[in-house]
Amino acid sequence: MNSFSPAAPSGLRLAMRFAWRELRGGLSGFYIFLTCIALGVAAITGVTSLSRSLTEGISQEGQAILGGDMSFSIVHRQVSEAESTYLSGLGQVSESATMRAMARTTDDSDQLLIELKAIDGAYPLYGEMELANGGTLAESLARNEAGLWGAVADTALLNRLGLKSGDMLSIGRTQVEVRAAIAREPDKLAGGMEFGPRLMISSAALPDTGLIQPGSLVQWHYKIKLADQLSDTDLRQAVETARDRQPEAGWRIRSRANAAPGLQRSIERFAQFLSLVGLTALVVGGVGVANAIRAFLETKRQVIASLKCLGATGTFAFQVYLLQILALTGIGVAIGLLIGASLPFLASLALQNVLPVQLVAGIYPSELGLGVLFGFLTALAFALWPLGQAHDVPPTALLRDPGFGTKTRPRRRYQIATLVTVLLLAGIAVLLSYDKWIAAIYVGAAVVALVLLSLISVAIMRLARAMPPVRSTALRLAIGNIHRPGALTPSIVLSLGLGLTLLASLALIDGNLRRELTATIADQAPSFFFVDIQGHEQKAFEAMLRKNAPTANIDTVPMLRGRIVSLNDIPASDYDTSGGSGWVLRGDRGITYEQDLPENAKLTQGTWWEPDYSGPPLVSFEDEALRELRLKIGDKIKVNVLGREITAEIANARDVEWRSLAINFVMVFSPNTFAGAPHSFLMTLGWDEDVPEEKDLEILRQAARDFPTIATVRVKDAINQVNDLVAQLALAIRGASSITLIASILVLAGALAAGHRSRIYDAVILKTLGATRVKLILAYSLEYALIGLATAVFALIAGSLAAWFVITEIMQGSFIFLPGTAVMAVGLALAFTVGFGLIGTWKVLGEKPASVLRNL
């Protein structure tokens, strides 16, 4: 008896010996357990390792991606002589200019918005520029004997305009000869979002285009190849020194350590989402863990009873089976680690020609450790409760009771241990996330969903128990099976609920985003944006538009680019953006000035300035950004425009309707702020009625032909481009989220397998009493269908609420319910529950009554 005492020195060692002896019997009954743990761990480690591989790739190729060790970017103007001298002192300098322009065929029959890049002879400082014909960049861009400048272009541009090597192309007020297609542009990732294909020319050819005018929306880049190679730490210090030495330059400084910050943020956010999906798969799998443990303990009740009769304590039994569960979890985790760790290597081979950066495949211990932690915490969170329930069950109850007294709660210490493990699991998931607020919402929603699903399963069973008797034998059997002791109802509802909820919410988010893009935004948005309209062209250009589109709505505003330097004397780089709207402080923003409040905005705070206001500069801030940045009326912001720093007081806040795609700005200044500053104009054209597409194309051709230096953005083309991107992203997210559904299916299969033994007894007795196989199949089908339908209804309601929150609160859009999603959720639930249920039932109905009845 003392040998079983947990207080004895050999207590834990003895428990380990017992656990090991039972494990030697094999893993039968734990395959679903192992698969669920392995699947979740593989998802988490695979996603985080792949994300790390991409990030390491960006870091290692930082010089080539950025195009230098350091990069200085300025809008509107080139560097001054003093600034140029300072940059030259750092190392070798390469100057380039990027802007949007219109590329036209020489007969003006077709045109296309492009991303124009003008480079000097030093480009590229790092990496290699590869052309499809194998030629050199210098030869391809040089001026030939006939005086024609050369150009190289993306294949997409050549295909869209039907051009080939040797053809001519009009850019602004000049023509260039396309001499090669671009096979690889080394610093393309550093350029950010693009609205058109690339066309590259020599910087010496840029003046001939006529595109560079005072106030033109052109961005000048100065890439530096440092004379001395610096460590990342010294490089960060060099960036800070450059800001201090030239405080009024207004340039954006980057180093090879953050060569593509936008891409890195996207990778981190997508990795966070996929990691949370993997965690959801683990939680769903945790339901399978609990089911497997209960089924396992059911088979061990005689063993536990025997141990207790011989003097073993409940704690000893708990230790034995906890050690077994931990050992099995270790096997599942090991399988998951193996799969997850191999993902970067497989992706490197399969996607080397698809990904924009070379993966650095490797074994990353911290990412693998995270998977181990999540795997064991999930197993413990779902194992402690059922293991604790067996602690206080007396031997007599174990020998007689077939269900371990599942209605009883375990001792308080097991309840507390379960709660602590769950909180620890949730806390780690939130703390290690890129966006902690989103992660907290996601984890909280998952916990609430699990609790609600548990309550719903109880409600379904009580409702079935309270229903009056029905005449149909099959339906009466189905209703009885739903609420009887040991019913499969809780397992089915929990196993399918989370997976279907996630899929329903994603489908609704996808559908609403598409509706916003193709319907709401497309209906409200103007047809065209015209960019870089110079002051001397404004009236003539507007007259041309009104002549060709007399019924259209035309709006014009001044357009400048500026960067926020500080807020209330706090540098923008140091400002706390944890509340949101950090994008406002990153890079350059479009700004304007207005005498009157814009028609498409309304004041939410403060007052608008007088029409003849001539005092200190004032600014109107977008309301949501103002609140998220924790600013208020009267606060001061400093912006750098054209190399000049201007401090303005926040006079009011505006509510802006971004979805309309009308002319809107985060910051609108009082007119006296930029008196005499060179700038261009932005113009939009929109129709109140539907017009033939040919009318749009006619205006596009007219604008490109008569005003070649003005860039035209056709909103319909931009929306289609974004719509395609959303479709690809939605497909990727759905594919990744299917991991959760796979886990749900596995748990469902495990739950049905766990109930296999009791189903055999039921079927045999009913067949002995005269029930036919057809009637039993009908009864089981109705049982699974009713449970599946209830689960689908919950998934639909919960998924709709989640989608509504994301669309309205996070994305600030409008939400409508989509009936097609309801059909999908109901169909999936019914297909899985009825399908898997009948597969298991068919095998049950094939059992011979004699062999079963002998063992009753």
Q: SS in 3 state form for 121-169?
A: CCCCCCCCCEECCCCCHHHHHCCCCCCCEEEEECHHHHHHHCCCCCCEE
Residue 734 exposed, middle or buried by CB count within 10 Å (0-12, 13-18, 19+): middle
Asked whether 495 and 744 are in contact (CB, 8 A), the reply is yes
Together in a domain, 284 and 384: yes
DSSP SS3 for 361: coil
Predicted local confidence at residue 7, as pLDDT: 46
Distance CA 506, CA 392 (A): 44
Res. 334: pLDDT tops 90: yes
Res. 187: pLDDT tops 50: yes
Where on the phi/psi map is residue 634: left (φ > 0), alpha (ψ -120 to 50), or beta? left
Beta bridge pairs of residue 98: 117, 219
Together in a domain, 102 and 251: yes
Asked whether 593 and 671 are in contact (CB, 8 A), the reply is yes
Predicted local confidence at residue 708, as pLDDT: 87
Q: Looking at 625-664, which runs of residues are DSSP E strands?
A: 636-641, 644-656
Query: DSSP alpha helices (H): ranges in 300-313?
Result: 301-309
If one compares 28 and 570, the residue with the highest pLDDT of the two is 570
Structure tokens at 595: 């005498």
Please provide the average confidence, as pLDDT, over all residues in the chain.
79
Together in a domain, 714 and 856: yes
24-33, 64-73, 609-618: range with lowest mean pLDDT: 24-33
Together in a domain, 233 and 319: no
Asked whether 374 and 336 are in contact (CB, 8 A), the reply is no
Q: Which of 214, 231, 258 is the last residue of a domain?
A: 258
Together in a domain, 102 and 56: no
Q: Transcribe 223-262 into DSSP letters.
A: EEEESS---HHHHHHHHHHHHHHSTTS--EEEEGGGS-HH
Confidence of residue 2 (pLDDT cuts 50, 70, 90): very low
Residue 422 exposed, middle or buried by CB count within 10 Å (0-12, 13-18, 19+): buried
Tell me the one-letter amino acid at 655.
D
Q: What percent of the chain has pLDDT over 90?
A: 12
Give residue for tokens 């330097």.
565
Predicted local confidence at residue 9, as pLDDT: 40
Together in a domain, 278 and 357: yes
Give the CB-side neighbour count of residue 410, counting CA atoms within 13 A.
20
Res. 636: pLDDT tops 90: yes
Together in a domain, 128 and 32: no
Give residue for tokens 């141990």.
307
For residue 676, the enclosing domain spans 553-686
267-281, 307-321, 443-457, 626-640: range with lowest mean pLDDT: 267-281
Give residue for tokens 């059909």.
823
Together in a domain, 446 and 584: no
Predicted local confidence at residue 732, as pLDDT: 62
Q: Is residue 534 part of a domain?
A: no
Which of 711, 724, 269 minimizes the C-alpha distance to 530? 711
Distance CA 613, CA 693 (A): 44
Q: Is residue 111 part of a domain?
A: yes
Q: Is residue 381 part of a domain?
A: yes
82-96, 127-141, 439-453, 641-655: range with lowest mean pLDDT: 439-453
Q: Which of 402, 418, 434 is the last residue of a domain?
A: 434
Distance CA 533, CA 539 (A): 10
Res. 366: pLDDT tops 80: yes
The tens digit of pLDDT for each residue in 476-526 reads 888 888 888 767 788 778 777 777 787 788 778 777 776 765 655 555 567
* Cis-peptide into 124, omega within 30 deg: yes
Together in a domain, 321 and 200: no
Q: Is residue 136 part of a domain?
A: yes
If one compares 179 and 437, the residue with the highest pLDDT of the two is 179
Average pLDDT over residues 428-435: 77
Q: Is residue 275 part of a domain?
A: yes
Q: What percent of the chain has pLDDT over 70?
A: 79
CA 468 to each of CA 29, 464, 472, 481: distance values in angstroms, whole numbers, following the listed order: 37, 9, 12, 15
If one compares 720 and 855, the residue with the highest pLDDT of the two is 720
Kindly state the helix (H) or strand (E) to which residue 31 belongs, with its residue range: helix 31-60
Q: Which residues lie closer than 8 Å to 382 by C-beta, 6 or more apart? A: 286, 287, 289, 290, 293
Residue count of the chain: 856
Residue 212: count of CB within 10 angstroms of its CB: 16
CA 856 to chain centre: 55
Distance CA 668, CA 633 (A): 14
Give residue for tokens 């490197």.
348
Together in a domain, 187 and 73: yes
Tell me the one-letter amino acid at 71.
S
Query: Could you tell me whether strands 111-119 and 198-202 are parallel, antiparallel, or unpaired per DSSP bridges?
Result: parallel
Q: Is residue 318 part of a domain?
A: yes
Predicted local confidence at residue 269, as pLDDT: 66
The tens digit of pLDDT for each residue in 383-405 reads 888 888 777 666 665 555 544 44
What is the tally of structural domains in the chain?
A: 4
Helix, strand, coil percentages, rounded to 5, for the chain: 55, 15, 25
Q: Which residues lie closer than 8 Å to 13 by C-beta, 6 or more apart? A: none
Confidence of residue 773 (pLDDT cuts 50, 70, 90): confident
Average pLDDT over residues 18-36: 72
Together in a domain, 429 and 440: no
Together in a domain, 428 and 396: yes
Distance CA 842, CA 677 (A): 82
Q: Is residue 545 part of a domain?
A: no
Asked whether 325 and 293 are in contact (CB, 8 A), the reply is yes
Which of 98, 94, 96 minimizes the C-alpha distance to 219? 98
Which of 490, 491, 469 minimizes the C-alpha distance to 480? 469
Q: Is residue 535 part of a domain?
A: no
Average pLDDT over residues 788-797: 84
Kindly state the helix (H) or strand (E) to which residue 102 belongs, with its residue range: strand 91-105
For the full predicted model, state whether its pTM sits above 0.85.
Answer: no
CA 637 to each of CA 602, 669, 729: distance values in angstroms, whole numbers, following the listed order: 21, 11, 36
